[in-house]
Amino acid sequence: MAVLNLEKIRNMRKKNKLSQEELADLLGFKSVYSYNRKELGHVKFSADELHVLASFYGVPSEYFFDQSVANNATSKKEKEVI
């Protein structure tokens, strides 16, 4: 299952020396507060917003996600290998 990694979004913004206000403007938010709540995980980013960020930074949308495997799936795989 893919899980959004908010740390990657925050680090990309900081790496590019951008403020939350600049990203709020890029995404068309009326206030920096709206962007801040998304970056902190209080409100989810939409697929369109992630696409805009990925295009802006020149990375694939998948960059912002981590792949995780359910524990029971991992256990099942290990049993099959043994």
Residue 33: beta bridge partners?
A: none
Q: Are 38 and 44 in contact (CB under 8 A)?
A: yes
pLDDT value for 13: 97
pLDDT value for 1: 81
Question: For the chain, what are the domain ranges?
Answer: 2-62
- Domain 2-62 CATH superfamily: lambda repressor-like DNA-binding domains (1.10.260.40)
pLDDT value for 59: 97
Please give the model's pTM, rounded to 2 decimal places: 0.78
The rounded distance, in Å, linking the Cα atoms of 53 and 10 is 11
Per-residue pLDDT of the chain (82 residues; tens, 9 = 90+): 889 999 999 999 999 999 999 999 999 999 999 999 999 999 999 999 999 999 999 999 999 999 876 555 554 444 445 5
